[in-house]
Structure 1
Amino acid sequence: MQTAEGVAVLVEEAAAATRYLCAGAHLDEEFARKVVEEIEDEHHRAYAPTFGINIMLVHQHARQALQRVADRDTGLVVCLLVSLALQPALTLVMWVLMVFISGPPAGLDPRPARLRHPVSGQQGGGQVRVVVGAVVRLLIALAAMAIVAEFAPILPWPLVWIHGLVPDLIIGYPLLVLIPWIITWQERSSAWHIVSKRLTSRGFATGYPNGVPEGPITDGNITVYSGYSPFIGSGVELDSWSTTTRLNATRDLVGDIPPQREPWTVPVTAGELVEGLVAQLSELGQETTDSADGIAGLTVTEKLFVDGTVVRQNAVRLSGLTKAVLPDENSTPEYWIPEEIVRRYRGYHRGPIRHCLRSQVAAWGADLVLSVFLQVTVSGGTLYLESTTFLLPPVKEAYRVADSVVDAPAPEVSYLPADRAGGDDSVLGAQSVAAGFLALVSSPVRLYRALRAPARRRKRNSELLQAIKSDLTFDYGARLSLRDLASGPNYRNYFQRVDVARISRQIHLRTLDFVATTLVERDIDVSELLERRTAVYNSGVLMTGGAMHGTIVAGQGNTVIEQVPTDERAKKKK
């Protein structure tokens, strides 16, 4: 029996992934742009499954982050234009030099204890280094501006309005260095306040005392996909296996075969196996005293996967699937369709519409999402099983910075100083020097893109509507998964890897046990299935995509084959 505290922990774990993606929108400008483009530009295509993440809430934070960046860029462009009007030559030369003076971009975490040494990578003790680096950059900018101002008078009149070193520095240094620094400092302070106060575990719970509101459900019983892989949003492929079993009756090899036999019929159908597997795997997901080997949080769903280019084809339309998944051709496809339509496609093995039985577990606070997709097909007296396992890895470490912040009460709005938001004001100000130089250089392009975005979206929407009207193969499929985009490359804990291996094996073994038992009851030879079961029992999980690769081997005598990238092999040979 779960206590109130236990329920509270589960609610917090379910909201953690949403909170991390909201923080990512403030910490990673490119991710924020991807979120806004996916939500606002794809009015007619399906969204990839998000597995409980409220993408609308993430979109709100992404919008807020981009608006803050646009306000910063507006101020920087004003500084550039004023400086360009007064000192054209000095402004153009310094604009180019800023790229070399700025250095690598700094992260958004002003706490000295979290700073990393550029060589050793160790945390802590970097406050002095960051402040000294900022002072050096300010002095280099001053020296560069003085040199440019000294040689500027040799240029023709349209490029030089003001003559003299002192007037050039009095006008140019504040407009191109000091004011952009302060504007960037304010923008970064505002972003850090949101991350360190509103997006901590306590701050998020305070902002949503009744729990995170549910967003649109994009993970239903049908997925309209685009491109090669139908399992969009499920992460990287861990492993896959398949087995083929001839549905022949079991008979002794010794003795005579009866001269007359009954006409042979298929002893089991794909629908019967799928229905039984749903019951068996659902039972596995019930953690009760009667099911000691249960898997907490296991959900079993019958899903259809439909290629987005065939949704309006005649064959699909005549089957009734088009009307169910696309009631409005100018709108987004549906994510839930009647169950009888899904069951109708059990065992279907022709074309780009396929039925799969998905067993899914969200573990470690929805940080890991393990999905096992099973296709069951009976054709020509042969049973064909194919299982593919996908893992959605943990969210990037950089998006989790709020978890390391010591919670403390704070006002609703805070700009400066940063120490009110859990950081060191001098560090944040020092980091803003280099960030201000980079922002100043790119601000015209960023601001132009932001101002042009509404018109671009209207034009794109018009083009998509025209494509829908003139092309029956218009692709309604999902193309991008925001949760997948925010995923990191590695496990965060050794036991995450162990849990993934254990859960996937439990699902595979329960699947093979049920199928074998069903076939034995109908006098079918199951030797091939038993061999596959033995292989699954003794094998590890090998990730075939992404950066997380390795095996976990069970069983005596098994071996581990290390995967070595091609470039590393070449190094070893040398």
Structure 2
Amino acid sequence: MSTVPDTAVPQDDTTRYLCAAAHVDFRYADAAIREFVVEPTRPVPPSPGFQPANVLVEAIASRTRRKYRDGALAVLAGLFIWLAWGTWLLYGWLIVGVAAAIPSMLVAAGKSGTGTGTKLATAARTRKAGGVIAVIVGILLIGSLASGALQGAFGSSSRDRYYYDDVYPYEPPAQLWPYALIPLVLIGVVLILDRLFVWNVLRTRFGYGTRNRPPAGPTDAEEQLLAVSPRRFLGNLDRYRTPAPQTAGGAPLIVHRGYNPFVGAGLHREPWSMALPLEKLSQDTKPDGSPFDELTTISLYDRVREAMSALQASNALSPDQRLRSLKIIDAVYASASELIDHLPDSTTDLYLSHVDFPPNSTLPATEVAALRRQPREWARYYLCFQVETWDRDLVMSSFLHAAVDETTLYLEWTPCVLPPVREEYRAVDKLNSNIAVPLGQALLRWVKLPASILGRTVHTLGLIRPLRREREIINPDAYGTLRTLREMAAANEVPNYFQLVDIERYEKIMHSRLIPAISRILRDSGYSPATFERQAEMVVNNDVTIEHNFGAFNVGGKVSGDMSGATVRAGAEK
């Protein structure tokens, strides 16, 4: 088991929130396991700003705890139903429980319809309410039929059915419903113990008071739950503890599946591209008499990097001097499906050495240089500029791709924003120290158990399995990443006005360096920058006002909406 050394730094807020999310939201925990743990060939995506191994350990422990809890509740609920069948105790509990669950179901339906229009939200609420009513009617109907059948089988007739004859009397069964109170009470005990355990974990390990303390070793803190967790889950955790090896002159390789190649960067924000004819200047030399520079794709990338790196010396342009920590990263993005399609190619070994292993985490310098000069249809080199702001809670990333020949310059600029962690996951900072809170939550869950017992039973029996593998068929989804743990926990919108204007600030600052740099590169290479500057002016002046954020961020699909005129697009999960 791993331990944390005495020199460990205090745990960062993002890791705290994501670890807490694994215990607060079972959907997040299961999605994290499904995405990163069960597929041994899925690559480890870049995860700046938090510790993915810690989050995955908590997700596994949370799922294990929930399966044992829900299994116990399913058994106790089945015993209660058997003992209380046909009595007022059973029907009363069912009706009260489902009725108590209706408000929360309607709220959940309203959230699922948010941002999709009033009609869709209303339809979602109607479906939820209809489902609840159908459950109540079905339970009452089945109970009535069963009760009638029992009365028909054991009811009185001209001859007493409880006696075969005078010698062998058959006594009527004793009333069992009082014994049904025992499993009913035990259900409450299980729920209370579970809520107290989660409440204690959230407060003592991930609460606000723990932010200045070194984190406990996750495998030590969850040792008991991990001991009864599936071995196949734990076997893949080591990949997330070991940093990816770096090669001199190489670049990280990100293999993705789905629409969005920029895994970890969040959502696209107003990307643009342009193809420009290169027009020679009338002069034969630079103004100082020196010969013009040669314009190549490599030289353009190098000159842009040099110009943008000047922002790292800025003192006043950004709040808290965040630009001084500007990251300039070389990266290659490849499609998993196309990578598998090109396995017969000799160069594919640089990306995927064997189908039984994940894609390589880095590419050698020779392949990176080749992609700079000549991109592949399924693999592209990008120069990335990344700023982590608001204590790493808001991340701005911009990706530049370029291509140059003797007559044309092609430029592609894709800014992305990773919104803050969802508010419900940050609520761990506001946990009440009053023990009555988890007790009240347990009581409410006890009352609403009839509405959730079917889902709990399915959860107990359900398994998270690797993708199905057919003989001689390779599933490309096993080799590509869709989203990072941080993206799974991202909010749908930026909740803070200052954060919104900071997105505008960094985007405009990037443009203020990029566009003059390319103009100088063209001029120093003997080409007129006039056409580029005209098109760039249209891009920059496309939106000069700051508008309210109406929730354009949506990780569920391709969406357009107002976020200072931005167009936000994200691929739907496959």
Q: Which residue number corresponds to residue 37 of structure 1?
A: 34
1:507 deviates by 1.6
CA contact (8 A) 1:73 1:444 kept: no
Q: Which residue number corresponds to residue 123 of structure 1?
A: none
Q: Which residue number corresponds to residue 506 of structure 1?
A: 509
Please tell me the residue identity of whatever aligns with 1:356: Y
Q: Which residue number corresponds to residue 171 of structure 1?
A: 179
2:308 paired residue among 260, 274, 281: 281
Distance 1:101-1:159 versus aligned 2 partners, 3 A rule: farther
- Render the CA deviation track for 1:92-131: whole Å, top value 9, x for unaligned: 7567536523325879xxxxxxxxxxxxxxxxxxxxxxxx
Distance 1:209-1:65 versus aligned 2 partners, 3 A rule: closer
Moved more, 25-34 or 223-232: 223-232
Q: Which residue number corresponds to residue 246 of structure 1?
A: 277
- Render the CA deviation track for 1:409-443: whole Å, top value 9, x for unaligned: xxxxxxxxxxxx71341x43233233124445544
Q: Which residue number corresponds to residue 21 of structure 1?
A: 18
Distance 1:294-1:86 versus aligned 2 partners, 3 A rule: closer
Q: Which residue number corresponds to residue 188 of structure 1?
A: 195
4+ residue runs of structure 1 moved beyond 6 angstroms?
157-161, 209-214, 288-294, 541-544, 560-563
Matched position secondary structure for 2:213? helix
Counterpart CA distance in 2 for 1:310 and 1:361 is: 31
1:488 paired residue among 478, 482, 491: 491
Matched position secondary structure for 2:332? strand
Q: Which residue number corresponds to residue 422 of structure 1?
A: 433
Counterpart CA distance in 2 for 1:488 and 1:294 is: 22
Matched position secondary structure for 1:385? strand
Structure 1 unpaired stretches of 5+: 1-7, 108-140, 258-264, 406-420, 553-559, 564-574
1:155 deviates by 3.5
Distance 1:104-1:474 versus aligned 2 partners, 3 A rule: closer
Q: Within 5 Å, which residues of 2 pair with 1:249-268?
A: 249-251=280-282, 267-268=294-295
Counterpart CA distance in 2 for 1:210 and 1:501 is: 39
Counterpart CA distance in 2 for 1:159 and 1:87 is: 17
Counterpart CA distance in 2 for 1:275 and 1:174 is: 74
Matched position secondary structure for 1:278? helix
Please tell me the residue identity of whatever aligns with 1:190: F
Please tell me the residue identity of whatever aligns with 1:248: E
1:516 deviates by 0.8
Distance 1:290-1:483 versus aligned 2 partners, 3 A rule: closer
Matched position secondary structure for 1:358? strand
Distance 1:24-1:157 versus aligned 2 partners, 3 A rule: farther
1:60 deviates by 1.2
Distance 1:39-1:523 versus aligned 2 partners, 3 A rule: closer
2:99 pairs with 1:101: yes
Please tell me the residue identity of whatever aligns with 1:434: L
2:257 paired residue among 226, 240, 259: 226
1:392 deviates by 0.7
Q: Which residue number corresponds to residue 136 of structure 1?
A: none
1:44 deviates by 1.8
Moved more, 239-248 or 470-479: 470-479
Q: Within 5 Å, which residues of 2 pair with 1:284-363?
A: 284-287=311-314, 295-314=323-342, 317-319=345-347, 322-363=348-389
CA contact (8 A) 1:238 1:545 kept: no
Matched position secondary structure for 2:324? coil
Distance 1:474-1:445 versus aligned 2 partners, 3 A rule: closer
Matched position secondary structure for 1:309? helix
1:162 deviates by 5.6
CA contact (8 A) 1:304 1:342 kept: yes
Moved more, 485-494 or 385-394: 485-494
1:496 deviates by 0.8
Moved more, 353-362 or 67-76: 67-76
2:278 pairs with 1:270: no
Counterpart CA distance in 2 for 1:282 and 1:158 is: 86
Counterpart CA distance in 2 for 1:483 and 1:435 is: 29
1:82 deviates by 2.4
Counterpart CA distance in 2 for 1:71 and 1:344 is: 53
Matched position secondary structure for 2:413? strand
Please tell me the residue identity of whatever aligns with 2:443: V
Q: Within 5 Å, which residues of 2 pair with 1:366-385?
A: 366-379=392-405, 381-385=407-411
Q: Within 5 Å, which residues of 2 pair with 1:457-496?
A: 457=465, 460=466, 463-464=468-469, 466=470, 469-471=472-474, 476-496=479-499
Please tell me the residue identity of whatever aligns with 2:206: L
1:27 deviates by 0.8
1:269 deviates by 0.9
Counterpart CA distance in 2 for 1:158 and 1:74 is: 33
- Render the CA deviation track for 1:344-389: whole Å, top value 9, x for unaligned: 2014345121111111111111111111011101146100111011
Identity of aligned residues (%): 22
Distance 1:471-1:401 versus aligned 2 partners, 3 A rule: closer
1:486 deviates by 0.8
Matched position secondary structure for 1:498? helix
Please tell me the residue identity of whatever aligns with 1:97: I
CA contact (8 A) 2:13 2:211 kept: no
2:85 pairs with 1:71: no
Q: Within 5 Å, which residues of 2 pair with 1:434-453?
A: 434-439=444-449, 441-443=451-453, 445-447=455-457, 449-453=459-463
Q: Which residue number corresponds to residue 523 of structure 1?
A: 526
Please tell me the residue identity of whatever aligns with 1:192: W
Please tell me the residue identity of whatever aligns with 2:53: M
TM-score, normalised by the number of residues in structure 2: 0.71
Q: Which residue number corresponds to residue 226 of structure 2?
A: none
TM-score, normalised by the number of residues in structure 1: 0.71
Matched position secondary structure for 1:394? coil
Aligned-pair Cα RMSD in Å: 4.2
1:451 deviates by 4.6
